[in-house]
Structure 1
Amino acid sequence: MKKNAKAPSGKLWRQDRAAFLFLLPWLIGFIFLTFGPMVSSLYLSFTNYDMLLGARWIGLDNFRIMFFEDQRYAASLKVTLIYVLASVPLKLLFALAVAMLLNKGLRGLAFYRTVYYIPTLLGGSVAIAVLWKKMFSGNGVFNQALLTLFGYQGPDWVSNPKYAIYSIVVLSAWQFGSTMIIFLAGLKQIPHEFYEAARVDGAGRIRQFFNLTLPLLTPVLLFNIVIQMITAFQAFTQAFIISGGTGGPIDSTLFYTLYLYMKGFTLFEMGYASAMAWVLLFIIGFFTAIVFVSSKYWVNYGDGGD
């Protein structure tokens, strides 16, 4: 009996050992490239560390300065919240509108999907941010080729503190490709029979959208909201290029991540930058939790047959 009992156990161990061997590269990478740096940055957040001298323990001083003394930190938090609240709904709106158009069975659907997805592939690059800065400058294409047709001379959108943040919001909305693809996949999963039944009941397109399409699409909408919100909180490249790495004009594009970068790699205040990174983690976690808690009131996981 003992032999028979040991044999399956030995077989299971060999299977587990093979699994651990396959997981080992990822596990090593996680420990040394993710978990280790996270623990290190947590320690540094309680120190005064300038990357040139050794870390000196100062307790909660970084957080005290951050919350009560650093006005630029407050400005960066305000700019980032404005960007998140403006860019995420706008991108979702554009993505859903285009997805619904592509869901009509157009000819060359694969071509259109590719065309609309290209900005997402290019949008995070430095070249596109530079191009965007040129387009929305005072004598850029947007003013000279579009607004002048209506007899209006637009301002320098990227250098005016009133409009600079919104030029970046428009750039973010332009990168709706991945969100659109996910919405399109969700729309494809809604059975056509539901729309036929709605038409028989006399429901028009608007009523079909709000009473059928949108409720059945809420799980996909939840996913896109969470992903795009997290991405928006971490936006960096566009603000860095358009503002020239300063967050200007007058801190109007001083994103949280840009200010973190300036503190850590320009001013070499790595302890303060580490504290900012951990606060950002909790901010993202807080807003994500709010979305998930509220989802039970508006996300429909049913089959749509009710």
Structure 2
Amino acid sequence: MTLVKSSPGATTPRSAAGTAPSSSSAAPARARKTFWGPAFAAPHGVGLAIFTLAPIVFSLAISLYRWPLLGTPTFLGLGNYQRLFGDPIFGQVVWNTVLFVVLYVPLNLVVSLGLAAWLTPRIKGRHIFRVIFFIPSITPIVANVVVWRMLYQPSGFIDGISQAATGIHAPNFLGDEHWAMLAIVAMSVWQGFGYNMLVFSAALDAVPENLAEAAAIDGANAWTVFWRIKLKLISPSIFFATMMTLITSFQVFAQPFILTKGGPGSTTATIVLYIYNQGFQFHQLGLASAAAWVLFVIILGVTAVQFIGQKKWVHYDA
């Protein structure tokens, strides 16, 4: 490229062909880039609008109506919400869901973090163990629940082991209100710990070894190194796993639906199971939509509290 004088004391660039580059030739290139980006994103945007955003808005509108499956909808305003908060069964399912979350989330995190800490590079066959522990997470949950139902039922595998070992029948895990929720939690922990285990294992592998070695030289034992150093360094991963586990646990459905149908009584019925029953069993679509929005507000509130609180215990700087 050479310089061509355009006026006294000023020069303009000129290409090897002897012509100055034109801004008009760059404009079509920019226009093409501006066109193809939105064009490739458009199918996803349309699908998101039709299959996600529109149903969300529509469900909010339905929650304001008495909307039977067959018949004419009747506008109620906040009537469905008032009915929910006055319904003792809904109060029971909210309590059951909270109880499940309180039991399941800590157990899931403790089991997955403990196994991740155990699967250090010194363990032979650690990759095989990882695969074995992760398999329940990718197996269809319905198949897992059906298998556990056969294990739990009277004269099932667990009952047979109990009789062989002690001569005593195992409790009726699915028919006893004192055991039913615990049985669901135990099955859910087995189903779901593998994903968090992989997250924690990858985070622990990323911790610099020189930090642990320096602490060991200073006299710190393995527990102190894990608790004071490694746990803080993987706190972003712990926060992520906690958030995802909380959100999914509030939406628990398949386990109580297949194992107990919400029983005995309503002791294991959850909010999503209540939504299913109201919408597809009793055909009260307005009430089901209102319950879904209550669940959304609960999850949103818990998520907001977690994001506010994470500033005190999550360390993003190594």
CA distance in 1, matches of 2:27, 2:293: 44
- Amino-acid identity (%): 32
1:217 CA drift (Å): 1.3
Letter in 1 for 2:241: N
Runs of 4+ in 1 over 6 A off after TM superposition: none
Structure 1: how far apart are the matches of 2:240 and 2:87?
35
Q: Which residue of 1 aligns with 2:157?
A: 141
Q: Does 1:53 align with 2:68?
A: no
Q: 1:83 aligns with which of 64, 88, 100?
A: 100
Residue 113 (structure 1) shift = 1.1
SS in 2 for 1:231: helix
1:109 deviates by: 2.4
**CA-CA distance at 1:210 after TM superposition:** 1.2
Q: Does 1:65 align with 2:80?
A: no
Structural RMSD (CA): 1.7
Name structure 1 gaps, 5 residues minimum: none
Q: 2:58 aligned to 40, 47, 52, which one?
A: 40
Residue of structure 2 in register with 1:153 after alignment? 169
Name the amino acid aligned to 1:16: T
Structure 2: distance between partners of 1:201 and 1:163:
48
Report the Cα offset of residue 154 of structure 1. 2.2
- Computing the radius of gyration from Cα coordinates, the structure with the larger value is 2
Gaps of 5+ in 2: 1-20
User: Which residue of 267, 277, 287 corresponds with 1:262?
Assistant: 277
2:183 partner amino acid:
S
- Cα deviation for residue 285 of structure 1 reads 0.6
Report the TM-score when normalising by structure 2.
Answer: 0.90
In the alignment, is the contact (CA less than 8 A) between 1:139 and 1:156 conserved in 2? no
* Alpha-carbon distance in structure 2 between the residues aligned to 1:199 and 1:280: 47
AA at the equivalent of 1:133: R
Pairwise CA distance, 1:205 = 1.5
1:227–1:147 Cα change, 3 Å: farther
Change (3 A) 1:217 1:151: farther
- Deviation digits for residues 100-135 of structure 1 (CA, Å, limit 9, x no counterpart): 11124322222211111111112x522221111121
Amino acid at match of 2:60: L
Distance 1:151 1:95 in 2: 34
1:20 counterpart = 2:38: yes
Corresponding residue for residue 211 of structure 1 = 228
Contact 1:186–1:220 (Cα < 8 Å) also in 2:
yes
Q: Check the 8 A contact 2:162/2:169 in 1, yes or no.
A: no
Name the SS of the counterpart of 1:170 in structure 2: helix
Which residue number corresponds to residue 204 of structure 2? Answer: 187
Residues 77 and 255 of structure 1 are in contact (CA less than 8 Å); yes or no, is this contact kept in structure 2?
A: yes
Alpha-carbon shift at residue 278 of structure 1 (Å): 0.9
Q: Does 1:234 align with 2:248?
A: no
Q: Which residue of 1 aligns with 2:217?
A: 200
The DSSP-based 3-state class of the residue aligned with 1:162 is coil
**Preserved CA contact (<8 Å) 2:63 2:80:** yes
**CA–CA distance in structure 2, aligned partners of residues 251 and 103 of structure 1:** 43
Amino acid in the other structure paired with 2:48: F
Higher helix share: 1
Distance 1:237 1:113 in 2: 25
Q: In the TM superposition, what whole-angstrom CA distance separates every residue of 1:170-228 from its partner, at most 9, and x where no partner exists?
A: 11111211110000110011011011001101011221121111111111000000000
Number of residues of Structure 1 aligned to a counterpart in Structure 2: 298
Q: Could you tell me which of 182, 185, 189 is aligned with 1:166?
A: 182
In structure 2, what is the Cα distance between the partners aligned to 1:162 and 1:9?
A: 72
1:80–1:255: 8 Å Cα contact kept in structure 2?
A: yes
1:151 is displaced (CA, Å) by 5.2
Deviation (angstroms), 1:146 = 4.4
**TM-score between both structures, scaled by the size of structure 1:** 0.93
